[in-house]
Amino acid sequence: MKNNRNFCYSLLIILAGGIYLPVQAQQKKDAQDVIETKVLNISHAPNSIVRTIKQDRHGNIWMASWAGVIKYDGKSFSNITGKVSPARFFSILEDRMGNFWFASVGSGVYHYDGKSFRNYTTRDGLANDRVTNIYEDKTGQIWFGTEGGASLYNGKSFRNFKMNEAPPFKAADSVHVSVYQKSLPEVSWMHHDVNAVIEDNTGKFWLATRGHSYWYDGKTFTKINNNEGKPFLNVRSIIKDQKGHIWLGGADGLWRYDGKTFTNFTQKFVGYIYEDRKGNIWTSSESAKSQNWVLSRYDEKSLLNKKPMVTEIKTNDKMLFGILEAKDGNIWFGGLKGVYRYDASLPDGQQKSITHFKGKEAEQ
């Protein structure tokens, strides 16, 4: 899909649930557009796909990877789940009690209190053992996005949700499909493969699936439509920003909802969205110029402009996933080749670089 497609339209298009307002991002051309990537070989750093990165209340950085859950204490990396499970891990949550939850694809979820693990699977009531997302709501209940619907855990039991009737997931179905070029039938299992859950300021939940996205008011699921009156398709990431606005990224590009209006910022595929402390919006997305993906930073001060300022930071990885602003201001992100750190904390004007932490095991 062409990046500037539909940008020439200046009309406001009325749609169910809001107004569509197209904007065009102005790409910033500066030293950050061409950036050096340094490789740092270090023991136990992840060498495989890193899907999610979080920093805990003590400053440790946690990575959900296909090689396990990796913890970085500022000096060294360690595999927390290496002796517990060989599963591929996709998501991490530190709950309000300081306990950790790890989502795996095939082995359910793991609860970790810093000393011991407890594994929850379909035997305990989880909707599906293929889990890719974890979210804690305002009441402290934990939501799990699975390939068989959403599971809500209240500390004692699971309550499972499906958006409509659909055949079950098949083992041959791939979790790696990222963009769809045709509409999905209403009975597709992908409408239950939950990628993201977020609660907005009104208490309404937004659930994104590999099929459609939905609002849930506690009773009913309502499909969310885009500017053409069509459902948002394969939304991979949803966040709520500091102003309470909802951002969606996926096959239909990057969108913001302010409670009344949907605004589109780009139509290229967006895999992950993150807001830093200054209110800048970061995304991982495909590059129009190369096979490698880019980090895009949308400047907070220009988000209301018709042409918001966006800086593209090139990488040497063909797909990017989770993004984190660490407490020191640097940006961490995951990719197919492991984990990276971008020197975002350096003052403007200084040459910044990306550090690729590469496990020494890969050199053997």
Each residue of 40-75: pLDDT tens digit?
A: 999 999 999 999 999 999 999 999 999 999 999 999
First to last CA, the chain: 42
Assign 89 a pLDDT band (cuts: 50, 70, 90). very high
Read out DSSP for 317-351? -S-EEEEEE-TTS-EEEEETTEEEEE-TTSPTTSP
**Percentage of residues of the chain with pLDDT beyond 70:** 82
Asked if pLDDT for residue 284 goes beyond 50, the answer is yes
CATH code for the part of the protein at 13-30+57-168+180-325: 2.130.10.10
Q: What share of the chain is helix, strand, coil (3-state, %, to 5)?
A: 5, 45, 50
Task: Mean pLDDT check: name the lowest of 1-10, 77-86, 171-180.
Answer: 1-10
Comparison of pLDDT for 163 and 344, the residue scoring more: 344
User: Taking the CA atoms of the chain, what radius of gyration do you get in angstroms?
Assistant: 20
What was the pLDDT predicted at 8?
36
Contacts of 27 (CB under 8 A, 6+ apart): 310, 311, 312
What token pair was written down for 280?
A: 């800048």
Rounded Cα distance, 17 and 307, in Å: 24
Name the token pair of 230.
């069509």
Cα–Cα distance measured from residue 175 to residue 97, given in angstroms and rounded to the nearest whole number = 31
Task: Give the dihedral of Cα atoms 64, 68, 73, 76; nearest 10 deg.
Answer: -130
CB atoms within 10 A of CB 339: 27
In this prediction, residue 348 carries a pLDDT of: 76
Helix (H) or strand (E) holding 253, with range, is strand 253-257
- Reported as a single tens digit per residue, the pLDDT across 184-198 is 656 655 667 899 999
Q: How many helices (H) and strands (E) does the chain have?
A: 0, 32
Mean pLDDT of the 205-220 span: 93
Q: Cα–chain-centroid distance for residue 255?
A: 14
The stretch 244-251 carries a mean pLDDT of 96
Mean pLDDT estimate for the chain? 85
pLDDT at position 212: 87
Residue 164 banded pLDDT, cuts 50, 70, 90: low
315-361 pLDDT tens trace: 999 999 999 999 999 999 999 999 999 999 888 777 889 999 998 76
Residues making up the chain, counted from first to last: 364
For 290-317, the pLDDT digits (tens) are 789 999 999 999 998 888 999 999 999 9
Residue among 151, 256, 159 at smallest CA distance from 207: 151
- The per-residue pLDDT for 188 is 59
Distance CA 127, CA 31 (A): 47
Per-domain residue ranges of the chain: 13-30+57-168+180-325
The 10s digit of each residue's pLDDT in 165-182 is 555 555 544 443 444 445
C-alpha span between 125 and 275 (Å, rounded): 33
pLDDT score, position 312:
92
Q: What is the pLDDT of residues 252-272, one digit of tens each?
A: 899 999 998 899 999 999 999
